[in-house]
Structures are given as structure tokens and as C-alpha cells.
Structure 1
Amino acid sequence: MKTFIRKILFTLGIIVVFPLLIPFIITTEKEIIKADVERWQNCLSWEQRPINIQLLALLKEAKEFRNLYYFRLFKGNFWGRFFMYLLKTIYRECPYFFLDSSCNIGPGLFIQHGFSTIIMADMGENCWVNQQVTIGYKDKTGRPKIGDNVRITAGAKVIGNINIGNNVTVGANAVVIKDVPDNCVVVGVPAYIIKQDGVKVKLNNAG
């Protein structure tokens, strides 16, 4: 009985957000949105569903995903943006997660608990960002450039015109203000490398 009720409630929720499928159907950003959906499905360990249903489920359940969805639509064609602006008046974004529209972000960005999180950076594929993270400008010189498969954990700050390599993990509450090479784990204030290429090190060249 409980399973049946859950299915009914899920179906009703999907019907409520169904209009949000319209811009997906007509946008030129369909493929990157599909990649986002698949990434979130895997990160959240959700059951496999048809892409349209899974997209609607995410738009219903994960408001941070809604911000990312609107970000993708903004990058696409006129009609996708047109319907996005109409629907945003009804289906609100997550108010405590800010994703700057000027950013260039690869497919598969996952936001876990996006409370008080700001992203103003160019990012690669399959990045992961937690709550209370700030990524952005220190001054007019520029903003961070972040590689693929980067994980930036709770409370971390990545600031300024710096480069973060591929497969980097930024530890909780770390403050990164200098370049970080590939395959590193950095922690601390200012951040320093504690592991590179799977080997423990301590090099004060990451922040």
C-alpha cells in the first residue's frame, strides 16, 4: 500500500512540473542536459528511469538541479531561453545557490547540498561542489579555471585567476589562491598539497 501511495505521489509531482519539459524538447543544449541528468542519477543512486521522467523528477526534487537546468537553457537557442524565462516565474530557482550565467561549465556538474554556494568559474566535466563553497574572483584579474573531475567540498574557497587541474579534491574549508596541478588533494588555509598522484606529500605550492 505504501509503495502504491508513493507511486501516486511521484506521478502527481511529475505532472506538476511537466511544463518544464517544454524548453528541454526545443533547446539546443539537450545533450549536455542529458549528461547532467545521468550524472545526478548516479550520484544520488536513483533508479533508472526514461530520461524525460528522470529530468522531471530532478526538477521536482532537487532545486539546485533546477538552477543548473536554467543555466543550460540560457546557453542555448532563443526559444529555449524564452520558455525558460516564462517558467522561472512559476518554478523558482534555489535561492541560496548562485551559478553565474557567464561561466562555461562542462557536462555532469553535481551540486550536493548547495546551501550558500557561489560558482563564478569555468569548469570542466563531472565536477562536484558541496555546500557553503565560494568559487570566484579575487579582483579584476580573472576567475578560477577548473579541470575535469574536480571535487570541492564543504566550506572551501577557490579564489582568483588560478588553475585547478584535473582530478583534484579540495578539502573542507580549504582556501585555494594558487594553481593546483592534476591529481592532487589540497587542504588548509592557505591550501597546500597533501597527496599527489596517490602519494602523500606536503608541498606549500597550492595556496
Structure 2
Amino acid sequence: MKNLIQQAIYNLIILWFSPLLIPFLLTTEKEIITADIKRWSEVLGLPQDNLWMQLLVLAYKTPEFRNLYYYRLFKGNLNGRIAMYLLKVLYPECTSLFLDSSCCIGAGLFIQHGFSTIIMADIGEQCWINQQVTIGYKDKSGRPKIGNNVRITAGAKVLGNIQIGDNVTIGANAVVVKDVPSDCVVVGIPATIIKRNGIKVAEKL
């Protein structure tokens, strides 16, 4: 009986979030939102339900996903954007996560936790950003450009008009203010390369 009650409550909660399907149906950004849903569902190990159910579960369980979802809708057509603005009143964003609307972000960005995180950069596909990360301007010269399959872990700072290559991992609390080549792991303050192409090294940026 307890399990039946819990399931009924869960179903009611999912039903409550069902209006968030409306902007998805209206937007021109369906393809990239679909890629995001698949990535988040895979990382979080969600059941392989239909796409709409996965969207609703993510919207319910992960406020960070809502931020990304609203960002995608903002980039789309007017109808989807209007629906998004109306629904944000009922389904608020994660307030500790700032995702700047001027960013250009590729498909499949995963944001883990999202607490006290600022994202103000152009980002490639299949990236991963942890909590307490700051990515953005150091001065008026510009902001970071981040490649594909980049992971930026907890507390890291990526600042200024710099280029982060593909397949890069930025370690926890690292401070990166210079370009990082592809296929590297960087750590420390200031960040240095400790692994390149899978081989341990000790190189300055």
C-alpha cells in the first residue's frame, strides 16, 4: 500500500510538471533539447521512458536542467519563448546557477549540482560542469571559448579571452587564465598540465 501511495504521489508531481511540454512542442530548438535530455538521462541513469517523460522527470528532479531548458527555449522562436516566460513563474530556475543568455552552447551540456555556478562562455558539445565553477570574463578583452567534451570540476575558475581545447579536464579549484591545448588534464593555481594525450607530464600553460 505504501508503494502504491508513493507512486500515486510521484505521478501527480509529474503531471504537475506536464505544462513544460508546451514550449517544447512550440520551439524550434527541439533537436538540441532532445540531445540534452538524452545526455542527462544517460548520466543520471534514468529509466528509458519516452522522451516527453524524461523531460518531465528531469524538470522535476533537477532544477539545473530547467535552467538549461529555459536557455534553449530563449534561443528559439517567439512562441516557445513566450510559453517559457509564462511557465517560469510556476517552475522556477535554480537560483544559484547563472547561465548567460548570450552564450553559444553546444548540445549535451551536463551541469552537476549547479550550486554557485556562473557560465558565461561559448561552449562546445558534450561538456560537463560541476558546482561552484566560474567561467567568464577577466576583463573587457573577452570571455572563454571551450571546446567539445570538456569537463570543468568543482570550484574551478576559467577566466578571460582564452581557448580551451577538446577533451580537456580542468581539476577541482584550478584557476585557468591561459589557453589549454586539446587532450589535456590541468590542475592547480595557476593551472598547469599534468597529463597530455594520456601521458603524465609537468608543463606550464
Which TM bucket (shorter chain)?
Answer: over 0.9
Shift of residue 3 of structure 1? 4.0
Instruction: Tell me, in whole angstroms, the C-alpha distance in 2 between the residues paired with 1:2 and 1:122.
Output: 47
Q: Which residues in structure 2 correspond to 1:73-112 (within 5 Å)?
A: 73-112=73-112
For residue 182 of structure 1, give the secondary structure of its aligned residue in structure 2: coil
Aligned to 1:51: 51
Aligned to 1:8: 8
Aligned to 2:182: 182
Shift of residue 93 of structure 1? 0.6
Q: Tell me, which stretches of 5 or more residues in structure 1 are unaligned?
A: none
Aligned to 1:173: 173
Letter in 1 for 2:54: Q
Letter in 1 for 2:167: N
Letter in 2 for 1:31: E
Instruction: Tell me, in whole angstroms, the C-alpha distance in 1 between the residues paired with 2:47 and 2:91.
Output: 24
Q: Which residues in structure 2 correspond to 1:2-151 (within 5 Å)?
A: 2-151=2-151
| C-alpha contact (below 8 Å) 2:194/2:203 kept by paired residues | yes
Backbone CA RMSD of aligned residues:
0.9
User: Over residues 77-117 of structure 1, what are the superposed CA-to-partner deviations in whole Å (9 max), with x where a residue is unaligned?
Assistant: 00000101111111111100000000000010001010000
Instruction: Tell me, in whole angstroms, the C-alpha distance in 2 between the residues paired with 1:32 and 1:6.
Output: 33
Sort the Cα spacing of 1:3 and 1:148 in 2 relative to 1 into closer, same or farther, 3 A.
farther
TM-score (norm 2): 0.98
For residue 167 of structure 2, give the secondary structure of its aligned residue in structure 1: coil
Letter in 1 for 2:153: T
Letter in 1 for 2:181: P
For residue 18 of structure 2, give the secondary structure of its aligned residue in structure 1: helix
For this pair of structures, how many residues does the alignment match? 205
Shift of residue 14 of structure 1? 1.0
Please list every run of at least 4 consecutive aligned residues from structure 1 whose deviation after the TM superposition is greater than 6 angstroms. Answer: none
| C-alpha contact (below 8 Å) 2:153/2:172 kept by paired residues | yes
